[in-house]
Amino acid sequence: MVWASGFYGEEFFKAGKLLRMSKTAVDGRTEYYMGGKARIPALLPTSGRNTTEVVTNGVTDSRILEKLGSQNTTLSRNKISAEFEKTGISKIYVLARRRLFRQTINP
């Protein structure tokens, strides 16, 4: 599995929120996602308000883009980052990782 995420909006990050575009590749299949996450209590890492939209083939009537004030809520995947920029939200950093899983076979 290989994944990469671009995080957007320094103001969101400072407020304990995340806005991201992610790419995952598993077994030769690549998927793209746009997501947001509200402040998460440190002791409850799986809680919080999470919103994720699959954008592999673009997005139609995106609730995330709507909440960001975008006039365009239906876009191809390649235009989403540019739409963030139009609303004043810039990319702040990118994380990428390649995970290699070791499989053990029991006799």
pLDDT digits (tens, 9 = 90+) for 3-38: 888 999 988 888 888 899 999 988 889 999 999 887
Average pLDDT over residues 68-88: 92
Residues in CB range of 6: below 8 A, 6 or more apart: 20, 21, 22, 81, 91, 93, 94
For residue 6, the cross-strand partners are: 21, 94
At position 60, the amino acid (one-letter code) is T
Domains and CATH numbers, the chain: 2-98 (2.40.320.10)
Give, rounded to a whole angstrom, the gap between the first and last alpha carbons of the chain.
26
Of residues 107 and 18, more confidence is placed in 18
Question: Is a pLDDT exceeding 60 seen at residue 48?
Answer: no
Cα 51 to Cα 68: distance, rounded to the nearest angstrom: 13
According to the model, what pLDDT value does residue 14 have? 83
Q: How confident is the model at residue 93 (pLDDT cuts 50, 70, 90)?
A: confident
Residues in CB range of 43: below 8 A, 6 or more apart: none
Phi/psi at 20 (nearest 5 deg)?
-145, 155
Q: How confident is the model at residue 67 (pLDDT cuts 50, 70, 90)?
A: confident
How confident is the prediction for the chain on average, in pLDDT? 82
